[in-house]
Copies of this chain bind each other. A is one copy, B any other.
Amino acid sequence: MEELYIGVDLGGTKILAGIFDSEHHCLALDKTKTKSEEGYDAVCSRIVETVRSAAELAGIDPEKVSGAGIGAPGSISSDESRVLFAPNLDWRDAPLKADLEAQLGCPVWLGNDCNVAAIGIHRLELEAKPNDMVSIFLGTGIGAGIITNGVFLTGATRAAGEVGHMVLDPDGPLCGCGTRGCFEALASRTAIFKKVKAAVKDGRKTLLMDNGGNSLTKIRSGKLRRAIEDGDKLSIKVLNETCFYTGLAIANLCNLLNPEVVALGGGLVEQLHATMMPVVREVALERIMPGARHVRIIATSLGDDAGITGAAILAHDHS
């Protein structure tokens, strides 16, 4: 009987779960809202429900899988059993591995969401298997998975990879972390929403408004793409700023780490890569030193599935 693996991408907004075969093909997937405000136990139950639903769609018994991998949005303990700190979920020191093993009835492997998605890209998308690679994920926030000398960069206290809090403009807008001008405060979807909100308050018109132009509740990446396709000037302007700062961040990372590949992912990139990538590449390549310029800057073709794919690979490799 073929071995099967579960891959889970636990995000601040949604939970994605997929069933994968041993060659990392996705047989079925399902998703649900995270609803982290309902607390840790409720989120665990929702993860299990989503996995069971994906298994049902794939026509398999979830207890028959060889293992499950999960990418969580926070720092992971060195024994890879606990989520030490996940600000978007308001979790501290959560024993996620043990709790999910008890409820799923299979071994569970835990990783940081950005590192896990980077595993998916590295294994399934990049034939050359680069020893030095940076993956950047642009969405509500900005995160990264970094490989140097063939090994994931974790740092001294497992807090490495906070690309979103690289200061790119000391006079820039205030970030949630308290610093001015972080990459995340300049370029994330949250930053885009704040800029659009401020412009609307100043009387600017935009297709991003809801209800025939009366309110602005949230901006999903798909909505932003459609507004840009329809020529909405404000949307074009704010996306251009996101591309500029993304290019700047990539240049800084290339000058520092000299990777073979920079792969971009996350909701914004999945929806908008055709518009974004030429600008991002131009801004970056103008600023990368000659010795590091042979870098490939790509949008991952795995899109939103990079996380569940990498999580299933995590389980496959450990089983």
Point out residues on A near B: beta carbons under 8 Å: 75, 84-85, 130-132, 146, 148-149, 151, 153-163, 165-171, 177-179, 244, 248, 251-253, 255-260, 286-287, 289, 291-292, 294-295
Taking a contact as CB atoms under 8 Å apart, the answer to whether A169 and B166 are in contact is no
Cross-chain contact of A165 among B130, B156, B255 (Cβ < 8 A): B255
Taking a contact as CB atoms under 8 Å apart, the answer to whether B287 and A179 are in contact is yes
For A146, give the chain B residue with the smallest CB separation: B256
Of the candidates A130, A151, A159, A171, the one having the most CB atoms from chain B within 10 angstroms of its own CB is A159
Cross-chain contact of A291 among B85, B169, B253, B259 (Cβ < 8 A): B85
Cross-chain contact of A286 among B75, B158, B179, B257 (Cβ < 8 A): B179
- Which secondary structure dominates where chain A touches chain B? loop
**Selected A-B contacts with CB under 8 Å, 28 pairs:** A75-B291, A131-B156, A132-B156, A148-B148, A148-B149, A148-B153, A149-B149, A149-B151, A155-B257, A155-B259, A156-B258, A156-B259, A156-B292, A156-B294, A157-B292, A158-B258, A160-B257, A161-B258, A162-B256, A162-B258, A163-B256, A165-B287, A165-B289, A167-B168, A167-B287, A169-B169, A169-B171, A252-B252
Complexed CA–CA distance, A167 and B284 (Å): 11
Residues of B within 8 A of A157 (CB): 258, 291-292, 294
Taking a contact as CB atoms under 8 Å apart, the answer to whether B252 and A166 are in contact is yes
Number of copies of this chain that the complex holds: 2
Residues of B within 8 A of A161 (CB): 256, 258
Cross-chain contact of A159 among B85, B156, B167, B291 (Cβ < 8 A): B291
Cross-chain contact of A292 among B162, B179, B258, B260 (Cβ < 8 A): B162
Residues of B within 8 A of A149 (CB): 148-149, 151, 153-154
Of the candidates A84, A255, A287, the one having the most CB atoms from chain B within 10 angstroms of its own CB is A255
Instruction: Give the distance to chain B from A285, nearest Cβ to Cβ, in Å.
Output: 11
Of the candidates A132, A148, A169, A295, the one having the most CB atoms from chain B within 10 angstroms of its own CB is A148
Residues of B within 8 A of A130 (CB): 156
Taking a contact as CB atoms under 8 Å apart, the answer to whether A256 and B160 are in contact is yes
- Further pairs besides A168-B168, A256-B256: 11, Cβ < 8 Å: A85-B291, A132-B160, A149-B153, A155-B258, A155-B292, A157-B292, A162-B256, A165-B289, A166-B256, A167-B252, A170-B248
Taking a contact as CB atoms under 8 Å apart, the answer to whether A166 and B132 are in contact is no
Complexed CA–CA distance, A16 and B218 (Å): 61
